[in-house]
Structure 1
């Protein structure tokens, strides 16, 4: 291109740009992914009215994929949020969002949301509104339950927190969140497992272990099993589960189930007038029939959904093992054992905390079973 033609192009360029703009050839619209992400962000900024009253903060979605199908789009996202004053870090779950074009125009809006396949649901996914009751040390969120029922659970949780704190002097939040779904099936949806897994149980605790703070321990009540318990039984169940919340930072994959479950029962029964034969009836029957356990309960013995009598014997034996340690070596030694066993092998922890070994502890436990249950 000679100098004259280059000069002509430079002169005509502004005019050409103006002509394109006048003709309506604007910059291309943002891609669908970007539009959908913007719509999801708008949805997060104004959570549904059904969440009103729940102390939520940091409510956000991280969109990980977008799929468009004509006038609709599907977004897969990770929901993150905190319960203000209760969660130390964000929690959440995988979600699916359905979007449609806003009024048929170029933008999108969220029209539905649900839990992703394989992910547990959230309490507010259930059809009825979530009721909120605040206790002195507790936050109770319930669906399909009377205000009186939720208030009674809050009072029981308020008593459970100081009881757990007295057993576990280490650092923890000293507050608890209790979820009360409408039915056993709804409870199973919250936990992502079959309903039969929890049939007959009063409550369970959620939350990851790993030696660090768990952002969202929740005590989840089975409304059917809990309703069958006496007042004393409810208090024991809630104190047991709250103790799991208290000990979470010290609980790791190294911690044997007999110690974690036994410690929680030890904390729950400390103020109970029940003796070993009353609190451990299933194991007492077995011992009287000559079926003395050969070893402390294995982790597999505590699995939900198995033989109920075998599971009961495991829990009762674990409680009596921790009760023995506290009686013979002291409460502080039991706590020290729990702290150590989360970081190092059980033999080393037993030696440091109790000055004994596993065979000696097992033998002492078996002797206690004979004397107290036989």
Structure 2
């Protein structure tokens, strides 16, 4: 009896160890037996999208009973220069012949993305004749849409840009490719760091569609001409950044305004690898505005009307803008003053210490391991000054430039 007990424990231990080894070596995280079939289905779907194979793609889909035909994903992305397209199954919730899959879509645009763009997707599936089929694919809950979720994507290739739009004519998209192409060499001339030297511009049909791409409320972006999305953090590689244009706000700008906006956003793309959590928004936004206005001949009085009005009215800022001052949903006048004050801080550095010192200062702040002390240390090491002295100089600069 005792010997048999020890043997049983040995067998149990052996089985437990084997299971532990298997689970630690990439065992299937989705326990349902259908997971393998669904993975193979998603692999076939991904290959069909990459190969533009309509027949193979059609064999992955089936209309759900009583439901309309799902949007033709393949037709919507056909014009995209795709270098990769891959689904990674994260979970599978199955009830009989129906299932809901949560997946991570990873895709890359050829010639523009060094790292894949990721998107959380939800796919509904049905099983017929022993095979699984996709009946719908959509953004996951609380995830932003992708441009193709809004319609067929049109593509215009510029010299340095790739402009992707839905609901806009080729001529309209070419109208954005021009300033985007001019923005790239302008940023190269201002920023000495290495970067891809290319931009991807997304142009949705409306402000609402822009907000849907961002997964954010419309109110947060009303009046904002463009934003840049991407990962900050000094990884050293060029992430898959995108410039999103609000066609309603961008469309009412003059030629100079449009150029400044796209150059500003391109500066964010170029400096992304050197922008981290240690970088305050007054520096990242102010630097991007400095690049945007650089070489345009615009004076401080012309480019900072809101802050000039405040200064002339006796409301000289006592400190540089805080991060919360850049919230899009706040007071528009206060937001404008924050951007203008940040721009003039960077312009002052370029005027008084030199442009190279400005870029060195930007890098030094971003390389800091935390926000606390980042600006202070960079002011000391690069500009040989202190936060108090810098703020005093900035306030004097505002008076002289805007008074």
Give the alignment's TM-score, normalised by structure 2. 0.83
Question: What residue in structure 2 maps to residue 312 of structure 1?
Answer: 336
| Residue number among 115, 123, 144 corresponding to 1:89 in the alignment | 115
Question: What residue in structure 2 maps to residue 370 of structure 1?
Answer: 399
Moved more, 130-139 or 208-217: 208-217
CA contact 1:133–1:151 (8 Å) conserved in 2: yes
Measured after TM superposition, the shift of residue 49 of structure 1 is: 2.7
Question: What residue in structure 2 maps to residue 333 of structure 1?
Answer: 357
State how 1:163-202 maps to structure 2 within 5 Å. 163-202=186-225
Higher CA-based Rg: 1
Question: What residue in structure 1 maps to residue 159 of structure 2?
Answer: 136
| Residue number among 221, 225, 231 corresponding to 2:255 in the alignment | 231
Q: Distance in 2 between matches of 1:31 and 1:350?
A: 59
Question: What residue in structure 2 maps to residue 55 of structure 1?
Answer: 81
| Residue number among 365, 375, 378 corresponding to 1:349 in the alignment | 378
State how 1:238-249 maps to structure 2 within 5 Å. 238-249=262-273
Q: Distance in 2 between matches of 1:274 and 1:348?
A: 32
Q: Distance in 1 between matches of 2:172 and 2:76?
A: 20
State how 1:6-85 maps to structure 2 within 5 Å. 31-47=33-49, 48-85=74-111
* Runs of 4+ deviating beyond 4 Å: none
Q: Distance in 2 between matches of 1:34 and 1:354?
A: 59
Measured after TM superposition, the shift of residue 299 of structure 1 is: 1.1
Q: Distance in 2 between matches of 1:75 and 1:192?
A: 20
CA contact 2:196–2:238 (8 Å) conserved in 1: no
CA contact 2:46–2:85 (8 Å) conserved in 1: yes
Question: What residue in structure 2 maps to residue 4 of structure 1?
Answer: none
CA contact 1:255–1:342 (8 Å) conserved in 2: yes
Question: What residue in structure 2 maps to residue 27 of structure 1?
Answer: none
Measured after TM superposition, the shift of residue 214 of structure 1 is: 4.5
Unpaired segments ≥5 residues, structure 2: 1-31, 50-73, 369-373
Question: What residue in structure 1 maps to residue 143 of structure 2?
Answer: 119
**1:123-162 deviation per Cα after TM superposition (whole angstroms, max 9, x unaligned):** 0000x31000000000000000111110010111000111
Q: Distance in 2 between matches of 1:240 and 1:155?
A: 15
C-alpha RMSD of the superposition: 1.1
Unpaired segments ≥5 residues, structure 1: 1-29
Question: What residue in structure 1 maps to residue 28 of structure 2?
Answer: none
Q: Distance in 1 between matches of 2:288 and 2:341?
A: 13
Give the alignment's TM-score, normalised by structure 1. 0.90
**1:222-247 deviation per Cα after TM superposition (whole angstroms, max 9, x unaligned):** 01001111111000000000000000
CA contact 2:195–2:238 (8 Å) conserved in 1: no
Indicate yes or no: 2:171 matched with 1:148: yes
Measured after TM superposition, the shift of residue 33 of structure 1 is: 2.1
Q: Distance in 2 between matches of 1:89 and 1:372?
A: 42
Measured after TM superposition, the shift of residue 71 of structure 1 is: 2.9
Q: Distance in 1 between matches of 2:258 and 2:46?
A: 37
